[in-house]
Amino acid sequence: MIIVTGGAGFIGSNIIQALNQQGFDNILAVDDLTNGHKFHNLADLEIADYLDYEDFQQRVRSGTFKGESIKALFHQGACSTTTEWDGRYMMKINYDYSKDLLNFCEAGNIPFIYASSAAVYGKSNTFKEQRLYETPINVYGYSKFLFDQYLRRRIDQLKTQVVGLRYFNVYGPREQHKGSMASVAFHLNNQMLEGNTVRLFEGCDHYGDGEQVRDFIYVEDIATVNLWFMQNPQTRGIFNLGTGQARSFNAVAEAVLKFHGRGSIEYIPFPSHLKGSYQSFTQADMSALRSAGYSHEFTSLEQGVQRYLSILNTPD
């Protein structure tokens, strides 16, 4: 059995799809379907069972979770809303839950591959997996940072494989349930379907209008790297997962306009509630992942947007 927490979510469902493509279907999907629309992410996938995350966590904590041999646990379940400031809730979901699962995997010698985040770096200009550069600027980033720190203090004593992947700006299919947290490509495509204009933020942090830059990575690449670690159990540690190339929001907008063959960009005032807690620049240092042996090329922004919008704009 393979367990995927957050299995009905954006990245979790893409991991299940990639597992299915490699012939794995004995999969337990763990999630919270309070937002019932997320079921769409599982409807076309092959899984063996589903379990609510609270039931799963309770059974893990009590030692009553029983099942056949577990090949790996991909922990993607989290509150990923960067504008959420309920720190008590965030720490329970992102920190305490992760600790429970790490301890469960260590006790059962189960490979544990989990989602960290580039949010741990905050406004740093250096995105290297070292404590020196980690200065989170919101409680979401702090929750991810603190679990990475928890792992670092224990990793030399752990017998099982543990891998933390610091996702940069992920975009691609199966994110439609994320609302405001969906990717800029998703939102710009919707704006084009409604009119002839896409909207980006005006400049901030000394960047021009739409010139804030992020490391945008296509979700299929995220899934591929996750499965690569499962297939390479000798590797462990915390790794950045981006493309290594920062691209502007203008570049994303231009790729969307090119796909639709029309339109223009409008710049709107930068939201006051994001000032001081917004990353205007991210670019993954990919040397650690490459040194671990991962050699595949990543999808370019232009290729990824083209592929993604082709899926979004194909009639059901």
Has residue 156 been placed in a domain?
yes
Has residue 275 been placed in a domain?
no
Catalytic residue chosen out of the listed positions 95, 97, 121, 140? 140
Count of domains for the chain = 1
Could you give the percent of the chain with pLDDT greater than 90?
88
Q: Per residue in 237-270, pLDDT tens?
A: 999 999 999 999 999 999 999 999 999 999 999 9
140 assigned to active site: yes
CATH number at residue 106: 3.40.50.720
> What are the strands of the beta sheet with 2-5, ordered from one edge?
49-52, 27-31, 2-5, 72-75, 112-117, 162-167, 237-241
Has residue 157 been placed in a domain?
yes
Has residue 229 been placed in a domain?
yes
Has residue 174 been placed in a domain?
no
Task: Give the DSSP per-residue string, 142-156.
Answer: HHHHHHHHHHHHHGG
Say which amino acid occupies 314. Answer: T
Has residue 181 been placed in a domain?
no
Q: Per residue in 160-216, pLDDT tens?
A: 999 999 999 999 999 999 988 899 999 999 999 999 999 999 988 889 999 999 999
Catalytic residue chosen out of the listed positions 99, 123, 178, 258? 178
281 Cα distance to chain centroid:
17
Q: What is the pTM of this model?
A: 0.95
Distance CA 146, CA 14 (A): 26
Which token pair is 95?
């920190």
Has residue 188 been placed in a domain?
no
Q: For residues 227 and 19, is the Cβ–Cβ distance under 8 A? A: yes
Domain housing 40: 2-168+219-242+285-291
Has residue 316 been placed in a domain?
no
Say which amino acid occupies 151. Answer: L
Say which amino acid occupies 268. Answer: I
